Amino acid sequence: MKRVAIVQSNYIPWKGYFDLIASVDEFVLYDDVQFTRRDWRNRNLIKTPQGVRWLTIPVESKGRYHQTIRETAIEGVDWAATHFQSLRSNYRRAPFFDEVASLIEPLYAVPASNLSDLNRTFLQAICDHLGITTRLTRSADYELAEERTERLASICAQAGADIYVSGPAAKEYLDEAEFRRRSMRVEWFDYSRYPEYPQLWGEFVHGVTMLDLLFNCGPEARNFMKATA
């Protein structure tokens, strides 16, 4: 039974995103949809002594309000050093900072011009580090239908899926009948009931970048996730 998920790429996303990846056989980066501002595509949260803080990749969007994620270009290169320095400043006291920094620092050192490509690079590196072997593909690898649910169901059918795994927010719009018509079923991923882990800087926060968990827990990180196999 092949399980497929289809989600927009995010910048160094939280642990739930990686759990969803680990729960399926193929994870399709759905970057042929509109880039949304002030969203998770080009930014994520870290913890600091002053509370949570955004790390945001500057993107070129002037005059292109309907550009897709895949079409979104990164503006400049200075942001990369700034982001890594922010991570160093706020996580250098974490037990596994040096180990994880050796993984991500080279990624920041490579000039990147496209948001989708950069997100995929970080996603793949962190998956490899966690031992997640799910195949990452792109929506551009498939023929795309026009209507939203039909498009998702069609991608799943082309990928040979038996089960489409979706986040619960899609319950508001997803027509499960379209999947049943193609002999597939929909499963809803549960992001609740995560255990807390040792974390720097005050009150515990779940919705921060996966790097927070890696810096603080290192090889034990999977023990604080849902998909520990």
Given its phi and psi angles, is residue 211 left (phi above 0), alpha (psi -120 to 50 degrees) or beta? alpha
Asked if residue 223 lies in contact with residue 108, where contact means CB atoms within 8 angstroms, the answer is: no
Question: Is residue 54, in this structure, part of any structural domain at all?
Answer: yes
- Quick one: pLDDT at residue 38? 87
CB neighbours (10 Å) of residue 185? 13
Q: CB count, 10 Å around CB of 52? A: 15
Query: Residue 138 forms beta bridges with which residues?
Result: 29
Write down the pLDDT at residue 64: 58
Report long-range pairs for 64-69 (Cβ below 8 Å, ≥24 apart).
Answer: 66/34, 67/34, 67/35, 68/31, 68/32, 68/33, 68/34, 68/35, 69/8, 69/9, 69/30, 69/31, 69/32, 69/33, 69/34, 69/35, 69/41, 69/115, 69/116
pLDDT confidence of residue 229: 40
Q: Answer yes or no: is 183 within a domain.
A: yes
229 domain-assigned: no
Distance CA 86, CA 167 (A): 30
Q: What is the pLDDT along the chain (229 residues), one digit of tens a residue?
A: 999 999 999 999 999 999 999 999 999 999 999 999 889 999 999 999 999 999 999 999 765 568 999 999 999 999 999 999 999 999 999 999 999 999 999 999 998 899 999 999 999 999 999 999 999 999 999 999 989 999 999 999 999 999 999 999 999 999 999 999 999 999 999 999 999 999 999 999 999 999 999 999 999 999 999 865 4
62 lies in a domain?
yes
Range of the domain at 157: 3-224
| Structural domain includes residue 136 | yes
pLDDT of residue 63: 58
Is the residue at 76 inside a domain? yes
CA–CA dist 196, 176 (Å, integer): 34
Overall domain count for the chain: 1
What is the per-residue pLDDT for 62? Answer: 62
75 domain residue, yes or no: yes
Q: Which two tokens stand for residue 131?
A: 């031992």
| Domain assignment of residue 216, yes or no | yes
- Using CA atoms, how far apart are residues 18 and 3, in angstroms rounded to an integer? 15
